[in-house]
């Protein structure tokens, strides 16, 4: 018997934490915090866990790792790049390594992994189950030029990122709009370990001359000029960390906003962040840049894997009627699922 329990991440944009019970093992898939400030999973139903598997290093998938003490201090597994991108305070003393692609064994369970197209070193996870196989995507995207996505194997049950719900516009169209809006200079705040390389490359191809903060430099495979809080000018296109203006170079340049710096945000915007307040007042713009799947991508993944049951994560399906209709009888919203 195998069972999946959504401790967090089902029905809303809440942190990832999914408990998989399989062959006598209890695996926790991700353990995140946010994206709304301070939101952590309720682990009161989790019990003792044998291992934590982290799909990628973004906060809503790994920032609650200090809560592992409540689960019996289980070992943590992730790819080398995922461990490297975690803040030092989150890295476990023992790093159990998973490959970016291929197969592995975790506590004797065979596991298949592949790149998820969302962040460097980020992966989806596939396990054989009595009911025909199970795949968890973590966050994924089919549109990145710099971060590959490899289609998972067939699975009867698919737990898939559906963060955008019904959004279906393409990244190519978003790129054109972003490039036009950034003409003459703009600050583009981004999360670390994410779309920085892809955005830099594609804006450069669109004829702009993006500059980057030093924090993003290790992620890029192309050489771009660096900029700091002291050297930045309003006429530059600046990619920098601090996705909602709360940290990094983005926060420093917000303090210089009166000098003419324009801000274009593109991440999920939690309430209470500088980005939320600026956008609400009309002092900054929000523009889409897909790093999660469109509606059509979720359907394509479900079709390609032959999933009979699709569990949409990180979204309120009441706000995604078109996705719900497209999934039809495959849509599954139960908190507990026998696999």
Dihedral in degrees, nearest 10, Cα atoms 49, 55, 57, 61: -60
- How many whole angstroms separate alpha carbon 252 and alpha carbon 306? 48
Contact (Cβ atoms closer than 8 angstroms) between residue 139 and residue 115: no
Based on the domain organization, do 114 and 42 belong to the same domain? yes
Based on the domain organization, do 195 and 249 belong to the same domain? yes
Contact (Cβ atoms closer than 8 angstroms) between residue 93 and residue 10: no
Task: Decide which of 263, 286, 309 is a domain's last residue.
Answer: 286
Can you give the pLDDT at residue 148? 94
Query: Domain of 221?
Result: 171-286
* CATH value at residue 268: 3.40.50.10710
pLDDT over 90 at 223, yes or no: no
Task: Decide which of 286, 304, 328 is a domain's last residue.
Answer: 286
pTM reported for the whole predicted model: 0.96
Based on the domain organization, do 114 and 51 belong to the same domain? yes
Quote the crossing angle between the two packed helices 196-205 and 171-181, to the nearest 10°: 70
Based on the domain organization, do 138 and 39 belong to the same domain? yes
Based on the domain organization, do 273 and 134 belong to the same domain? no
Based on the domain organization, do 318 and 238 belong to the same domain? no
Averaged pLDDT for residues 21-34: 97
Based on the domain organization, do 192 and 323 belong to the same domain? no
Based on the domain organization, do 327 and 274 belong to the same domain? no
Task: Decide which of 245, 261, 286 is a domain's last residue.
Answer: 286
pLDDT over 90 at 295, yes or no: yes
Based on the domain organization, do 97 and 50 belong to the same domain? yes
Based on the domain organization, do 59 and 203 belong to the same domain? no
| pLDDT higher at 222 or 197 | 197
Render pLDDT for 260-273 as a digit per residue (tens, 0 to 9).
Answer: 999 999 999 999 99
* CATH value at residue 53: 3.60.15.10
Based on the domain organization, do 25 and 141 belong to the same domain? yes
Render pLDDT for 129-164 as a digit per residue (tens, 0 to 9).
Answer: 999 999 999 999 999 988 999 999 999 999 999 999
pLDDT over 80 at 221, yes or no: no
Render pLDDT for 224-254 as a digit per residue (tens, 0 to 9).
Answer: 999 999 999 999 999 999 999 999 999 999 9
> Average pLDDT, whole number, for the chain?
96
Long-range contacts of 256-264 (CB under 8 A, 24+ apart): 256/229, 256/232, 257/283, 259/234, 260/185, 260/234, 261/185, 261/187, 261/232, 261/234, 262/185, 262/186, 262/187, 262/234, 263/186, 263/187, 263/189, 264/178, 264/181, 264/182, 264/186, 264/187, 264/188
Give me the number of domains the chain comprises.
2
Can you give the pLDDT at residue 146? 86
Based on the domain organization, do 58 and 201 belong to the same domain? no
């Amino acid at each position: 018997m195998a069972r999946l329990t959504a401790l967090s991440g089902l029905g809303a944009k809440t942190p990832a934490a999914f408990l998989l019970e399989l062959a006598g093992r209890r695996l926790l898939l991700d353990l995140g915090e946010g994206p709304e400030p301070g939101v952590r999973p309720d682990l009161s139903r989790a019990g003792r866990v044998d291992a934590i598997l982290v799909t990628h290093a973004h906060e809503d998938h790994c920032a609650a790792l200090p809560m592992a003490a409540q689960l019996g201090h289980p070992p943590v597994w992730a790819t080398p790049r995922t461990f490297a991108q975690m803040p030092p305070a989150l890295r476990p003393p023992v790093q159990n390594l998973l490959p970016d692609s291929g197969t592995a064994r975790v506590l004797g369970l065979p596991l298949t992994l592949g790149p998820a197209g969302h962040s460097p070193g980020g992966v989806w996870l596939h396990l054989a189950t009595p009911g025909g196989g199970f795949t968890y995507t973590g966050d994924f995207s089919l549109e990145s030029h710099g971060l590959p996505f490899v289609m998972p194997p067939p699975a009867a049950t698919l737990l898939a990122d559906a963060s955008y719900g019904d959004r279906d516009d393409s990244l190519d169209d978003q790129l054109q709009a972003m490039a036009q809006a950034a003409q003459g200079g703009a600050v583009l705040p981004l999360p670390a370990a994410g779309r920085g390389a892809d955005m830099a490359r594609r804006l450069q191809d669109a004829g702009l001359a993006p500059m980057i903060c030093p924090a993003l430099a290790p992620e890029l495979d192309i050489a771009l000029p660096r900029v700091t809080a002291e050297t930045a000018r309003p006429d530059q296109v600046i990619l920098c960390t601090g996705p909602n203006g709360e940290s990094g170079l983005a926060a420093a340049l917000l303090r210089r906003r009166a000098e003419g710096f324009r801000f274009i945000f593109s991440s999920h915007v939690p309430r209470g962040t500088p980005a939320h307040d600026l956008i609400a007042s009309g002092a900054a713009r929000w523009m889409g840049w897909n790093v999660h799947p469109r509606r059509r991508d979720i359907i394509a993944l479900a079709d390609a894997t032959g999933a009979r049951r699709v569990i949409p994560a990180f979204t309120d399906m009441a706000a995604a009627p078109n996705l719900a209709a497209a999934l039809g009888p495959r849509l599954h919203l139960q908190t507990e699922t026998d696999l």
